[in-house]
Chain A
Amino acid sequence: MSDRKRLLTPYLFVLPNVLIFLIFVVFPAIYGLVLSFTKWDVISDPVFVGLKNYISIFSSESFWDTTRKTFIYVFAVVPWTFVTSLALALLLDMKIRLRSVMRALFYIPSMLSAVVIGVSWRWILGDNFGVINYLLERAGFKSVGWLTTPSWAMFVVILVRVWARAGYYMVIFLAGLQSISSVYYEAARIDGASVWQQFWQITLPLLKPTSLVVVVLTGIEAFKVFDLIVVMTTGGPGKATTFLVQDIYRWAFERGDLGYASAMSVVLLLILGLLTAVQFGIAERGGNAYE
């Protein structure tokens, strides 16, 4: 193969992926940025309004309320998912009976679509037709407004999210756990370290790269949550579980203001970018546990 061909070949292999990325991600993102400076209802022509959309967003009480609720959701989902998936991974890394079956069972929810999960849990938790309330009433208790009380609604959307995704991150942690050499544990046992000490001094530090991946991915996923919320609570009761992405959707498709919705998308992108940068910054400052 000539030198020129050898140089070009790798680029040709990645070209389809790059094209897809450009067409479906980069160009729409640039177009969205341009739209964010306009007022456009799709039906008429866009009208340039400069920074008006951004000024409206940052002076909107509703935006800050939605952002606050989104952060509450994210800061609940991320640690819960982390702890639950790590605990499952630690348990299912041990040599116990039916380990493979249990791994598969915990993984199954992550294979279901968010719509299926949302509809199923909506039926389980429904006020009048829900299984949980039926059992509560049969046991002589009062039914609970799982989806009609703001605080309970927030709790159940967090709980269902953790239930749905813990299995997926359990698999990532399992891979991380299996990459830790047993030599460290043997040495620790010889030195008389307890199980807790082994976990805090060996497992957790050596899982740092995996942990960073899990935290970043769960954080981004949690910020982008949409389908599960729409199906389970439609953002209600009232707007108790309306988060940023759903608000963007409402502005774009229900209120018909694509300019404003695009500006909100840009703001969300900046928030996600900032948080990701912070996470990587913290991770790098921590360094490798055994350097």
Chain B
Amino acid sequence: MKKQAAKLLIVLLVVSALSIPALAQKKVLDFLWFSDGVEGDVLKEIIADYQKIRPDIEINVIETPFQDLRIRLQTMIAGGTPPDLSRLVNVGDFAPALLDLTPYLGLEYIDDFVPSTHRNVIIDGKLMAVPVDVTANGVIYNKDHFAQAGIEVPTNPEDVWSWDEFVENLEIVVEKSSARYGLAYDYTFHRWLTILYQAGGKLFTDDWTAMAINTPEGERAIEFFVELHDKEIIPRSIWLGGENPNTLFRAGLTAAHWSGNWMLTNYRDNATHFNWGVMYMPYGKVRSSVLGGKYVASFKDSNHPEEAVEFIKYFTSTEVNAKFNEESLFISPRLDNAQLHYDFGADMFEVFSRELAVSPPHAGSDWAHPFAGRIGDDLRDIIVEALQHKLTPKEAVEKMEQVGNRILDDYMK
């Protein structure tokens, strides 16, 4: 018995000793990631494929909820242990800590990507990240509620509803169907910007040095949003009570959800007890969606910068990027991936693409501002004050201009 135990121990020691060189040769890259839907699973498949090509590399995905991304990344950077790779929504926010990709990929690398993404990733003339997917805000609607009320949504992009028609039709749907409310609306400043742009307004001046929201258009945007709440088209529990708009829509309590294309896999998998689709958004003064995006970047203090860049190149290559976006139901930022083949919702992507095509340029460039993320929460709080009627729409846009300019001055010093 003792001899057998000794033999087993020797075998274990030998195996461990043999594996040490193998482990020692493998480079482990940490990849900080958040998911809106199933893209985390798609990423893991892509990583598995990459690790077959590069058996010397192991990529460790650190998943984090989106709302914790900033805090987690800040903490990792402050602790001197940034990840090797990270998915980002606002590149400028972390620019001082990011690895300059220009020496590795060349500035011309971004020429293969849609021009509206360039300002997001080129900072002070340097390529700091690469786009992975593009997002578009839009309205997802409950087909059953609309059918019950006898309302048909616009299908011709040349003949979409005005704001007034949109409100009127939602009121009819609420009256004649089992929906309790007309519209669930995401509690983010980024989503509210859709209304600002549809009103004909903008957030920043073209040179990004000051706020441009204090205009009659900005005031109208606030006014419309307040009206949607006062008429209880949008339940007050979202913007005033923190209720999850996804939950309300999935439970069938709202006839529609003002969100974006990233929700498609979530509703494909979870909203299975009613029919739903994507409708063309209404127009105020103009039609507009909001162009957003997700990017991948590496960090100055990464232990494996070359390996990280190699993976970025792989991940953003034509084929791999197509796989990622097709299976995650996202829109590719690559020019050569303009026509992807989706197993689900191809007609919905048609709507999102057409909405982006008619959006004004600042619907993409505003959110590329390095400090857009930092002022968003403050400006959203001001909108909430308007919803509570503590501020008139005019006072709200004046305060947004004041607060925004103060923060911009502070950070740009």
The residues of A with any CB-CB pair to B shorter than 8 Å are: 42-44, 126-129, 145, 147-148, 150, 233-234, 236-239, 250, 253-256
Contact = CB atoms under 8 A, between A and B. Distances in A.
Interface stretch (B200-208, B256-264, B377-385): B377-385
Contacts of A237: 236, 239-241, 384, 388
A238 B385 contact: yes
Given A127-B237, A128-B180, A128-B248, A147 B242 contact: yes
Given A43-B94, A236-B241, A238-B385, A253 B70 contact: yes
A42 B74 contact: yes
16 contacts: A43-B74, A43-B97, A44-B96, A127-B241, A145-B237, A147-B237, A147-B242, A148-B236, A148-B237, A150-B388, A233-B242, A236-B384, A237-B384, A253-B71, A256-B74, A256-B374
A145 B407 CA distance: 33
B14 interface: no
A98 B198 CA distance: 65
B77 interface: yes
Nearest to B376: A254
A250 B251 CA distance: 31
Contact of B236 (A42, A44, A127): A127
A158 B274 CA distance: 40
B374 A148 contact: no
Contacts of A238: 240, 381, 384-385, 387-388, 390
Given A42-B77, A145-B241, A239-B384, 5 more contacts: A42-B74, A147-B237, A236-B242, A255-B378, A256-B70
A147 B236 CA distance: 10
A281 B78 CA distance: 41
Nearest to A122: B242
B243 A126 contact: yes
A253 B76 CA distance: 13
Interface string B62-101: 0000000011001101100000000000000111110000
Contacts of B96: 43-44
- Give me the 8 closest cross-chain CB pairs, A-B, nearest first: A237-B240, A127-B237, A148-B241, A148-B240, A238-B384, A147-B241, A253-B71, A42-B78
B242 A234 contact: yes
Contact of B70 (A147, A234, A236, A254): A254
A266 to B, nearest CB: 19
B193 interface: no
Nearest to B95: A43
Interface string B360-382: 00000000000000100110010
Nearest to A150: B388
Main secondary structure of the interface of A (DSSP, over half): loop
Given A236-B242, A253-B71, A128 B384 contact: no
B134 interface: no
B180 to A, nearest CB: 7
A128 B243 contact: yes
A253 B180 contact: no
Given A238-B385, A250-B377, A128 B240 contact: no
B388 A43 contact: no
A210 to B, nearest CB: 38
Interface string B231-250: 00001110111110001100
Contacts of B74: 42-43, 253, 256
Contacts of A43: 74, 77, 93-97
B228 to A, nearest CB: 15
B85 to A, nearest CB: 17
Contact of A126 (B180, B236, B237): B237
B253 interface: yes
B272 to A, nearest CB: 20
Among the interface residues B241, B243, B374, which one has the most CB atoms of the partner chain A within 10 A?
B241
A127 B381 contact: no
Nearest to B98: A43
A66 to B, nearest CB: 12
Nearest to A40: B78
Contacts of B384: 236-239
A253 B93 CA distance: 12
Given A43-B94, A128-B180, A239 B381 contact: yes
Contact of B377 (A129, A147, A254): A254
A246 to B, nearest CB: 12
Interface in B186-220: none
Contacts of A234: 242
Contacts of B378: 255
A127 B235 contact: yes
A254 B93 CA distance: 11
